Amino acid sequence: MSAARVVDYNYSVTTGLAEPCPLAGIRIRSKIVVKTVRTRRMPVCLLSPHPLVLGEFERVLSGSGYKLIPRLLESSLGPDLRRMSVPRAGVFVVDAHVARAAAGALLSNILEHHPGARILVVAEKLNAAESYSLLRLGAKGLLTYAEVRDHLDRALPLVAGGGFWVPRSVLSGFVDSVLSGPGNRRMQVEVSSELSRREQEVLSGLLENLANKEIAGKLNISERTVKFHVSNLLSKFGVRRRADLILLCFQQRSVAS
């Protein structure tokens, strides 16, 4: 396979913009590091059992610079989707117009063979239970068919760059269910060497669902200092919101367990 020309695409984790920006800075130990995500010409696999839906995905993303790999699903049965061969890609756009169990089988198949892949799920409608199930399985983005035309080309670079595209209300409800549900143990995350001891302590507080004021009191530091560390944590993990960070830690824990 010939090497494709790659053009750097900068995603601003500071502003949360899903459009190209001239410089995306991340604060790491008082140094400014430019984070560039190579999404141009990134392979994006499009999966759907419906030719018209597959064609709409391609139309919306035409001219986006991604290397599109459309695949028509020949079966909507869970066992078949669990065994099917999926091409290697950095991002998968999955049409979940199948039973929940079948959609779960397909997502599990993708992540088993391509653990670093990021999955954006599209469905006719997504209620809270369905959304939570998909997030637990590892989905990074959720869209309805009605949102594809206006938002797919905006959601894709965000998901490809390491972020999440999940409605705020859905994300908030999911995080609440994770942190306050019966039997949920305190979440742990593999600590990066780039995190200072204080950042690790603040992250631990976030995963206990503590407010900034509560974290400040627990660590005997000012609330302003907590906000500073939270901002750095969001930048280092490449997410926009506290809830995004908690979701990321939850998904990492689920993969590790």
User: Could you write out the DSSP letters of every residue in 204-254?
Assistant: HHHHTT--HHHHHHHHTS-HHHHHHHHHHHHHHHT-SSHHHHHHHHHHHHH
Closest CA to 27 of 169, 194, 144, 143: 194
Single-letter code of the amino acid located at 159: V
pLDDT of residue 142: 96
Tokens of 168: 């705020």
- Could you say which architecture CATH assigns to the domain 173-256? Orthogonal Bundle (1.10)
Q: How far is CA 53 from CA 123, 146, 193, in A?
A: 11, 12, 44
pLDDT for the residue numbered 22: 26
Would you write out the chain's pLDDT as a tens digit for each of its 257 residues? Answer: 333 333 332 333 333 333 332 223 323 222 323 343 454 578 999 999 999 999 999 999 998 889 999 999 988 888 999 999 999 999 999 998 767 788 889 999 999 999 889 999 999 988 898 899 999 889 999 999 999 999 999 999 989 988 899 988 898 888 888 777 554 545 555 555 578 889 988 988 888 878 899 999 999 999 999 999 999 898 888 788 888 888 888 887 665 55
Structure confidence at residue 244 (pLDDT): 85
Q: Which fold has domain 43-166?
A: Rossmann fold (3.40.50)
CA–CA separation, 198 vs 191, rounded Å? 12
Residue at token pair 């809830």: 243
If we measure between CA atoms, which residue out of 189, 139, 148, 133 comes closest to residue 166?
A: 139
Every domain of the chain and the residues it spans: 43-166, 173-256
In this predicted structure, what is the pLDDT of residue 219? 92
Q: What is the pLDDT of residue 228?
A: 93
Contacts of 163 (CB under 8 A, 6+ apart): 11, 13, 16, 140, 238, 239, 240, 244
Measured between alpha carbons, how far is 246 from 162 in angstroms, rounded to an integer?
Answer: 14
pTM of the model: 0.71
